[in-house]
A and B are shown apart, each in its own frame.
Chain A
Amino acid sequence: MDNSICQVYEDEIQLLEEEIKLLTEKYEDSQQESTFFSDEEILMSINSLQKEFQGESKGNESPSDLKARLGSLETDLSFLMKFTGIQFRSHSKKTVEKTGSRTVQKHRLSGNCHSLSFQLEFQLLEMQNKESVSAVITDLSILMEPGEDSDVSKFVSSTEEHGNLLTFFRSLSSYAEWYEHRRCTFLHFK
């Protein structure tokens, strides 16, 4: 009799712990996604952290370590943008749904590749199964500038239809290079 009461309490404890975890993540995601700090604010924060630190540790990471980690992430990002030619200007996401094994996020992304600019919106569904996380793109919408080119619009609509985000980016760099080459050639003959 007592054992079953224990079990009821233990089950409720597990449920509560899961709910707390999800609520915490929801809160933190929402905070992250609705805030924005400019580069100046970032720099000010680094400076103010270094001033107030002055030798105390409190179990927190030192400002120089934090600065180094930030620096390393920024270096990786700027390397990738330079290497692939894909420059992202802005990115925002919003967590639309989050359960134990399933997360749906809405993304907005804008950037350019050489002289072609793009604006994307898509939903990303991530599902946790036993060993891995699967990712599926839905509701892909692409705006390209310049967009009057009929080849580009055909390519864009077929990409959107199948959620082919990967193909879009893989083709973008080669198309952008070709487009740039063609543009320069025309200018040369003007």
Chain B
Amino acid sequence: MTKEHANWSPYDNNGGTCVAIAGADYCVIAADTRMSTGYSILTRDYSKICKLADKSFMASSGFQADVKALQKVLSSRHLIYQHQHNKQMSCPAMAQLLSNTLYYKRFFPYYAFNVLGGLDSEGKGCVFTYDAVGSYERVGYSAQGSGATLITPFLDNQLKSPSPLLLPAKDAVTPLSEAEAVDLVKTCFASATERDIYTGDSVEIIILNANGVRRESEQLRKD
């Protein structure tokens, strides 16, 4: 008595990897720009990062159609917030909104694996990591997507973030400087590109700090 399976799936996985690292007064959000389906490449130049607010950037891997829809919903909600409160949403507030938005579709989820990076109200870097249905926590760094399993152990070794369950609460942000963190991210992607077929082409890096936003791009292996 084998169960009949659907011959069509509403989901597809477009691959890719996203990383974010929180610093004392900066935040680095990065994602590769390859979009694939199956064993084919759809494009080598697709941005997985979206600016949700002045101090909140979201990088998402997974099914890009769902990612796009999620980005649009959050952007519209942010507009409403700005009209009602006359100010931008803080990153922790956006984090909660993202969680609620994902859980809203608990029974037909957004196939999106998100990392939210930005600056909190004190100007410190913050990174939030999510699963597909909205479970989230604030961490010092995170990786999501096809290359996450390759990158996370490396970041664990380099950044050694304390557990959020520890008492007294320890600061999760890394003591690394901004330049060191950006370099670390480039190393992560270079390594992941070697072994993960879905990661490569180029990496888009967003650096957020008190002075504003900076964007960097680095070429990766195209095979």
Please indicate whether A and B come from the same complex rather than being unrelated chains.
Answer: no
